[in-house]
Structure 1
Amino acid sequence: MPSQGLPVVVPEHSLGPTADGVRRRRRPPQGGRLPTPTPGPAPPRALILLLPVDLDLGLDPGLSALRPLGGFSVLRTSRPPSPPRRPAAAAPLAHAYALGHGNALAPAHALGDGTAAGPGDGVPEAGVPVEADPLDFRVRKVAAALGTAETRVAASVAHQGLAARLWSVTLACAALYGAVPGLDPRLLCWDSDATAPDDLWLTEVHPLPGDAATVADVVLTAHLAPLTAAVRTRYGVAAGLLWGNAASALAGAGRELDRWARRHGRTDTATRARSLTADLFAHPLLAATGALAAAPDISFRRRSCCLYYRVPGAGVCGDCCFSRPPGLPRSSPGARSG
């Protein structure tokens, strides 16, 4: 548990014992005043010391309260077993956010063997482990899964997926524990070739308060700001679109937590989930991304588009700013809709 300095008054000299533990005044002589005291040593002074006091913020080392939620809300605190072909695939997210891996605007290629594609296309040479460039590996893996050659589209979808994982874990901890783990990007490891919950594991659990300001620092400041900068720089995705992704992921995480809590009779958790989500949307990075309604259910309509409609055979998302994929003809009045 973290230590926080609390003021403790410690007298320089201990007080003499009395019946009730309090030094009492002498009674004045009958009919008169107290005699003038003779000069003596100065009265004892008090020193204000900051002594470390452990604050129990309620997180257990295994974050066991998250397990019933499953999927995106689970965070492992011990490294999951890796397949033999990928003995060291996980890397700290701080490494994934680094901007020194080069430009990755080349067309996406299908990857399935745990190594990067060939040289000259913005990724490490063949045979280099995944963790050499985990962000680009993830983008190309998403591109292959979606069947798109547009790396920009895959980068947007990958960005929103990681944002959803981070929001889901942190919101669930804040609502269930009243505290959150400090997800230092140097301690939170990411396996870019794995799926939830095996994609993330936290090497050390350091509890922090579960208020909205702390949650914003943990997710927005420490993770989504550098992730957004990396995706924008490397893949040419607009910043407004990416912050719309972050907002959409937050609304989705809050909505799923709210629904889970209601199904299990956890009205206090549901209320906390809605309140936290609404407070987080007041953050300057999210406030202009769309319109949120937090009661009676969490709903959100964003002012940008994640580009998913550009995937072959895909449509628009439920919170998209478009009612239909751009470029498609509008239905005439009275026409049957499919």
Structure 2
Amino acid sequence: MTPGAHRRRVPCCTALVTTRIDLAELQSVGGFFALRAGPAPAAVPFTQVYAPPTLADPLTFRVTKVAGRLGAPEDRIAVSVAQLGLAARLWSVALGSAALYGAVPDLDPALLRWDADGTSPDDLWIGDVRALPADAETVRDVVQHGHLAPLADALRARYRISAGLLWGNAGSALAGAVRELHGWAAREGREDVGERALDLGAALFDHPDLRGTGTLTGTVFRRRSCCLYYRCPDGGVCGDCCFERPPQRSSPGASPG
């Protein structure tokens, strides 16, 4: 996809709903489902994250931090892991809200703020929780078009990494959010929430950017690409990886993207 090919539809005021989203309960599903409300001095709006890089570039900062933590031998490994974590946060907040409350917080990049030095649950902040409808089209609009597409464009403008790998990460993150939410719902006796998560997940995967990333059967996902984590010291393959075991590290270019 070319930069700017995905355009987020800006919801008009009539698209807002009055349903209350309980951020405390949402976080109880797991740290990836957390969204903080209120001021966050260290966080920046995602419009700044996706803008052309400056000397204080939050994306470059995050990738460098992840690279140091993992001991990643290549930039693209840290790029992949950083993007995968952020995709998981965004999908989880939106999908969890949709399944639990029938509403999705408006995560417009101008409203949502990110602390590139933070980790869940303290990295995503929003000043005012404005609820939108919880249909799959709105969730896709908020997360996939509003964030994942411009995030991929921004990362590919800074680093050499394939679009297929990044969309594979997005599919893996979506499947992971469905799986976590479904498991929480089963433990809490909220089968209705688990079923909504499965239905939304299946609908969200039915899009050209995600449909080819892997196979989702219920909560089980097998992706067709690899996030490259196995290339880190002591790294291994993830549970949904296309590899059964880490492949031979013959050359940096041998890994699938």
Matched, 1:200 2:153: no
Matched, 1:157 2:77: no
Whole-angstrom CA distance in 1 between matches of 2:238 and 2:23? 32
- Which has the higher Rg, Structure 1 or Structure 2? 1
Question: In structure 2, what is the equivalent of residue 98 of structure 1?
Answer: 51
Assess if the C-alpha contact under 8 Å between 1:57 and 1:209 holds in 2. Answer: no
- Residues 17-56 of structure 1 aligned to structure 2 (within 5 Å): 56=17
Assess if the C-alpha contact under 8 Å between 2:37 and 2:126 holds in 1. Answer: yes
Question: In structure 2, what is the equivalent of residue 306 of structure 1?
Answer: 227
Q: Report the alpha carbon displacement of residue 233 of structure 1 after superposing the two structures with TM.
A: 2.1
Question: In structure 1, what is the equivalent of residue 238 of structure 2?
Answer: 317
Alpha-carbon displacement from aligned partner over 1:131-150 (angstroms, at most 9, x marks no partner): x2111100011011101231
- Residues 157-176 of structure 1 aligned to structure 2 (within 5 Å): 157-176=81-100
TM-score (norm 1): 0.68
Question: In structure 2, what is the equivalent of residue 128 of structure 1?
Answer: none
Alpha-carbon displacement from aligned partner over 1:46-105 (angstroms, at most 9, x marks no partner): xxxxxxxxx744124x6343132231101111135xxxxxxx42111111111344xxxx
For 2:37, what is the secondary structure of its paired residue? coil
Which of 104, 107, 110 in structure 2 is aligned with 1:180?
Answer: 104
- CA 1:326–1:223: 2 relative to 1, 3 Å: same
Question: In structure 1, what is the equivalent of residue 14 of structure 2?
Answer: 4
For 1:158, what is the secondary structure of its paired residue? helix
Q: How many residues align?
A: 239
Assess if the C-alpha contact under 8 Å between 2:83 and 2:169 holds in 1. Answer: yes
Assess if the C-alpha contact under 8 Å between 1:57 and 1:178 holds in 2. Answer: no
Q: Report the alpha carbon displacement of residue 328 of structure 1 after superposing the two structures with TM.
A: 6.6
AA partner of residue 219 (structure 1): V
Matched, 1:214 2:174: no
- Residues 74-93 of structure 1 aligned to structure 2 (within 5 Å): 74-79=34-39, 88-93=41-46
Whole-angstrom CA distance in 1 between matches of 2:196 and 2:187? 15
For 2:20, what is the secondary structure of its paired residue? coil
Question: In structure 2, what is the equivalent of residue 14 of structure 1?
Answer: none
Q: Report the alpha carbon displacement of residue 3 of structure 1 after superposing the two structures with TM.
A: 4.6
Whole-angstrom CA distance in 2 between matches of 1:159 and 1:307? 12
Whole-angstrom CA distance in 1 between matches of 2:13 and 2:52? 34
TM-score (norm 2): 0.88
Assess if the C-alpha contact under 8 Å between 2:104 and 2:139 holds in 1. Answer: yes
Question: In structure 1, what is the equivalent of residue 162 of structure 2?
Answer: 238
Identity %: 59
Q: Report the alpha carbon displacement of residue 217 of structure 1 after superposing the two structures with TM.
A: 0.3
Question: In structure 2, what is the equivalent of residue 36 of structure 1?
Answer: none
Assess if the C-alpha contact under 8 Å between 1:65 and 1:176 holds in 2. Answer: no
Whole-angstrom CA distance in 1 between matches of 2:50 and 2:36? 21
Assess if the C-alpha contact under 8 Å between 1:93 and 1:185 holds in 2. Answer: yes
Matched, 1:73 2:33: yes
Alpha-carbon displacement from aligned partner over 1:215-265 (angstroms, at most 9, x marks no partner): 000000000000011112211110000000000000001100000000000
Alpha-carbon displacement from aligned partner over 1:95-125 (angstroms, at most 9, x marks no partner): 1111344xxxxxxxxxxxxxxxxxxxxxx3x
Whole-angstrom CA distance in 2 between matches of 1:217 and 1:3? 16
In structure 1, list runs of 5 or more residues that go unmatched: 6-54, 81-87, 102-123, 125-131, 330-338
- CA 1:149–1:182: 2 relative to 1, 3 Å: same
Question: In structure 1, what is the equivalent of residue 204 of structure 2?
Answer: 280
AA partner of residue 177 (structure 2): A
Q: Report the alpha carbon displacement of residue 321 of structure 1 after superposing the two structures with TM.
A: 1.0
Judging by fraction of residues, say which structure has more helix.
2
Assess if the C-alpha contact under 8 Å between 1:59 and 1:180 holds in 2. Answer: no
Question: In structure 1, what is the equivalent of residue 115 of structure 2?
Answer: 191
Question: In structure 2, what is the equivalent of residue 58 of structure 1?
Answer: 19
- CA 1:290–1:67: 2 relative to 1, 3 Å: closer
Greater relative CO, 1 or 2 (CA 8 Å, sep 6+):
2
Question: In structure 1, what is the equivalent of residue 247 of structure 2?
Answer: 326
Whole-angstrom CA distance in 1 between matches of 2:202 and 2:108? 24
